[in-house]
Amino acid sequence: MSKSFDNEGKSEAMESLLESFSLKLNTPRSIAFRENTCVTCGGETKVFRDTTSKKEHIISGMCQVCQDEIWG
């Protein structure tokens, strides 16, 4: 996904929470979005199955593979 990082209408507090949580994973969320990588595995985030998966990526920063592993 070639979307650059922005807050997608989220409050500063929510962005801060998501960034803090991502620090416990593989890659900080802000860096992952800038580099088009997954916060969980560090893999590329270019191909998503559907609109719902793309929206999930905007929220979580996870690639399709990690979303499938987490959500089934």
pLDDT in tens, the chain (72 residues): 334 445 566 788 877 777 776 767 778 888 888 999 999 999 999 999 999 999 999 888 999 999 999 988
**Assigned token pair, 54:** 């793309």
User: In whole angstroms, what is the distance from residue 45 CA to residue 5 CA?
Assistant: 12
Predicted structure pTM score:
0.69
3-state helix, strand, coil in the chain (%, to 5): 50, 5, 45
Residue 26 pLDDT = 75
Residue 2 pLDDT = 39
